[in-house]
Amino acid sequence: MSAILQSYLRGQWAAPAKDLAEIPSAIDGAVIAKTGSSGSDFAEAVRYARETGGKNLRALTFHQRADILKKLAAYLSEKKEPLYALAAHTGATKRDNMVDIEGGIGTLFAYASRGRRDLPAEKFIVEGPNEQLSKGGKFAGTHILTPRAGIAVHINAFNFPVWGPLEKFAPAFLAGIPVITKPATASAYVSEALMRLIVESKLLPDGALQMICGPTGDLLDHLNGQDSLCFTGSIETSDKLRNHPAVSKNAVRFVAERDSLNAAILGTDAAPGTPEFDLFIKEVVREMTVKAGQKCTAIRRVFVPRAQEAAVIDALKAQLSAIKIGDPRVEDTRMGALVSMTQKRSVQEKVREIASEAEIVFGDPAASGTDDAALKGGAFISPVLLRCAKPMDAKRVHVTEAFGPVATVMAYDTLEQAVELVAKGEGSLVASVFTYDPSVASALVFGIAPYHGRLLVIDRDSGKESTGHGSPLPYLVHGGPGRAGGGEELGGMRSVHHYLQRTAIQASPDRIVSLTKDWSKGAATVPSQEHPFRKDFDTLVIGDTIETAARKVSLEDIEHFANFTGDTFYAHMDEAAAKANPFFPGRVAHGYLILSFAAGLFVEPAPGPVLANYGLDNLRFLKPVSPGDDIRVRLTVKQKQDARKPEYGEVRWDVEVFNQDSETVARYELLTMNARRAA
């Protein structure tokens, strides 16, 4: 961190010349840094991202980018300690900061491993299989996904200065898109320190990541239809950005994650004394107090069966009064401060709005919750629990987000009413359902799913291992409909796809193979003189094919296989019973026998470059094989892919098994590891 925060633009650190804003520490109000962006040339920053960053990133494959993400995650893991000390000034305790810092680094690791596993060692993705578009079979269609020739601007909220930028950066980088990221001013000193570590690592290609500390000036004016704008923050700013002339006119892809009135619902079965009741109380208190409630996913609305309302309020009050509020750097502090006095005033105002429809049953929004004189200038606030007596008639409690340790308890009379109440939030990121009753779980989950991006169903079985209501996970969707912004920041490969352009390609099957390097039925095969199992990975050509001789399947084969494996299912062993089945003409061969015979037909047995068969994909048995049928196999190289290790590559084979009438009886993709050519 520097006393005056600098932006990192066009490969250089740039200090603002004037118009500096002061950033106070949340702990005591002392100025911890100053920030501004005057003098920065955003047109040039956009151009640098587009021309240098985009070019560098698009030169890499998905796997190469995944490898860089992994190295960056490892580097940050080693160097992260100073971030903790700094982040305490945002009011966050060590436990809060673990969510932010470890969560951010963990997200990089997660995308690195998914990128390696789920994306090809290519610069594009093929979404097959081909669709045949003409009767003659010479015109087909498929889809490809390529990195858009643009940039991504990421604008973040103050509450996760490490996780926020990293969880947006990881999928964009994996997709091959250069990023300009802007942290929220209130905690920008932590994000700037993170950026310094990233720059020091020298791991990212030039132009892959730039950071603006301070206002974004005319940045958005320079965005065009190849660009994306991803925002996390308030509904008001989201509206401004979405309606920015360049964003709307140029159809800049816009994703927003914003205010969310997330709910926790206690099931009708979860009375005091049940594990679900205890888990519910614990989770509500945790969500109110972690990061002092400054989490987009925090529980704001607490729905309980009317019969349990008083017991829930008593239990919450008991646990909230045990929360120690104070200096976040002190080990036993359970709740630190809000990020700033501005934020504290905003929370107090929002509590006043909610209180017009509810009564405060615990806490005092005017109180700091700590009598430590050293913290007098800090943005501390006591947790506030409210109770709304008439939630069906209320409006504000459902749509007013106090971004602090504030929640409102509301009673419901029926499960249908609980669903109606949850829906009054107008779309949320997440909700939790606490029940051990399958019918209660089903009524609530299917009732409220349309209003949410993520749902947790917590009970005595999952409670202990649950990652919690408030933690978005990189593999699962994070985002929600309506008020929550309609975006999807996370979600595994879905969030990578946000940055790619999907294009339908219509052409002959052969042209599609030459473009996509993915063989599909209908494209020409390359008859292989030498058995393809004798060819190393580098010699194999997409479309290399062998057609095997035929083999008769006899009744003895079927009986032998049945007795040998123990699979004496009636369709293979009992003529009358098989005939009675509408799908079989009489006794038929086992599907697994067909697979085994197919392998016997196409395998080249001598030691050679095929190292291992590691699976089958998309297996279908399409027609029964009767005793006396002759089967034969066509084996074709469909795709080749570099593997993690330099010694071998992965080959996907298209396998089609025919009968004597050339009808397809089985089809699947065989996956093998093949040795590379000796150097």
Residues that bind ligand NAP (CB under 6 A): 155-159, 182, 184-186, 216, 232-234, 237, 240, 257-260, 296, 401, 403, 429, 484-485
Rounded Cα gap, residues 675 and 35, in angstroms: 55
Rounded to the nearest whole angstrom, what is the least distance from the CB of residue 164 to ligand NAP in the complex? 7
Rounded Cα gap, residues 677 and 221, in angstroms: 52
Rounded to the nearest whole angstrom, what is the least distance from the CB of residue 21 to ligand NAP in the complex? 8
Q: What angle do CA 467, 170, 405 make, to 5 degrees?
A: 40
Q: Which residues contact 12 (CB under 8 A, 6 or more apart)?
A: none
Instruction: Using DSSP bridges, classify how beta strands 21-24 and 31-35 pair: parallel, antiparallel or unpaired.
Output: antiparallel
Position of minimal CB gap to ligand NAP? 233
- Among candidate residues 190, 185, 371, 408, the one with its CA nearest the CA of residue 293: 408
Rounded to the nearest whole angstrom, what is the least distance from the CB of residue 334 to ligand NAP in the complex? 21
How large is the angle between the packed helices 163-175 and 188-201, nearest 10 degrees? 40
Q: What angle do CA 480, 483, 484 make, to 5 degrees?
A: 30
257, 287, 401, 656: the active-site residue: 257
φ, ψ dihedrals at 121, nearest 5° = -80, 55
Instruction: Using DSSP bridges, classify how beta strands 299-305 and 262-266 pair: parallel, antiparallel or unpaired.
Output: parallel
- Which is nearer to ligand NAP, 33 or 157 (by Cβ)? 157
- Which is nearer to ligand NAP, 184 or 500 (by Cβ)? 184
Contact by Cβ (8 Å): 351, 401 = no
Rounded Cα gap, residues 588 and 594, in angstroms: 10
The tokens describing 154, both together, are: 């990421």
Contact by Cβ (8 Å): 225, 249 = no
Instruction: Using DSSP bridges, classify how beta strands 359-362 and 610-621 pair: parallel, antiparallel or unpaired.
Output: unpaired
DSSP secondary structure string for all residues of 76-122: HHHH-HHHHHHHGGGT--HHHHHHHHHHHHHHHHHHHHHHHHHS-SS
Question: Is position 257 annotated as part of the catalytic site?
Answer: yes
* Cα separations in angstroms, 17 against 20, 24, 562: 8, 20, 83
- Which is nearer to ligand NAP, 159 or 528 (by Cβ)? 159
Give the H/E segment covering residue 456.
Answer: strand 452-458
- Which is nearer to ligand NAP, 176 or 480 (by Cβ)? 480
Rounded to the nearest whole angstrom, what is the least distance from the CB of residue 259 to ligand NAP in the complex? 4
* Cα separations in angstroms, 71 against 57, 460, 645: 16, 39, 17
- Which is nearer to ligand NAP, 171 or 267 (by Cβ)? 171
DSSP secondary structure string for all residues of 552-565: E--HHHHHHHHHHH
Rounded to the nearest whole angstrom, what is the least distance from the CB of residue 544 to ligand NAP in the complex? 49
Rounded Cα gap, residues 491 and 362, in angstroms: 37
Burial degree of 103 (CB within 10 A; 0-12, 13-18, 19+): buried
- Which is nearer to ligand NAP, 36 or 522 (by Cβ)? 36
Q: What is the 3-state secondary structure (H, E, C) of 472-521?
A: CCCCCCECCCHHHCCCCCECCHHHHHCCEEEEEEEECHHHHHHHHCCCCE
Rounded to the nearest whole angstrom, what is the least distance from the CB of residue 617 to ligand NAP in the complex? 35
* 3-class DSSP assignment, residue 279: helix
Rounded to the nearest whole angstrom, what is the least distance from the CB of residue 381 to ligand NAP in the complex? 15
Indicate the residue type of 80.
Answer: K
- Which is nearer to ligand NAP, 328 or 479 (by Cβ)? 479
How large is the angle between the packed helices 62-79 and 94-118, nearest 10 degrees? 160
Rounded to the nearest whole angstrom, what is the least distance from the CB of residue 480 to ligand NAP in the complex? 8
296, 357, 388, 489: the active-site residue: 296
Rounded to the nearest whole angstrom, what is the least distance from the CB of residue 14 to ligand NAP in the complex? 16
- Which is nearer to ligand NAP, 149 or 399 (by Cβ)? 399
The DSSP code for 261 is -
Q: Which residue has the tokens 């309606």?
A: 243
* 3-class DSSP assignment, residue 290: helix
Rounded to the nearest whole angstrom, what is the least distance from the CB of residue 230 to ligand NAP in the complex? 10
- Which is nearer to ligand NAP, 212 or 270 (by Cβ)? 212
The DSSP code for 148 is -
Question: Is position 230 annotated as part of the catalytic site?
Answer: no
- Which is nearer to ligand NAP, 240 or 579 (by Cβ)? 240
Rounded to the nearest whole angstrom, what is the least distance from the CB of residue 494 to ligand NAP in the complex? 16
Rounded to the nearest whole angstrom, what is the least distance from the CB of residue 152 to ligand NAP in the complex? 14
Strand partners, 387: 359, 409
- Which is nearer to ligand NAP, 5 or 666 (by Cβ)? 5
Rounded Cα gap, residues 166 and 197, in angstroms: 13
- Which is nearer to ligand NAP, 216 or 548 (by Cβ)? 216
Catalytic residues: 257, 296
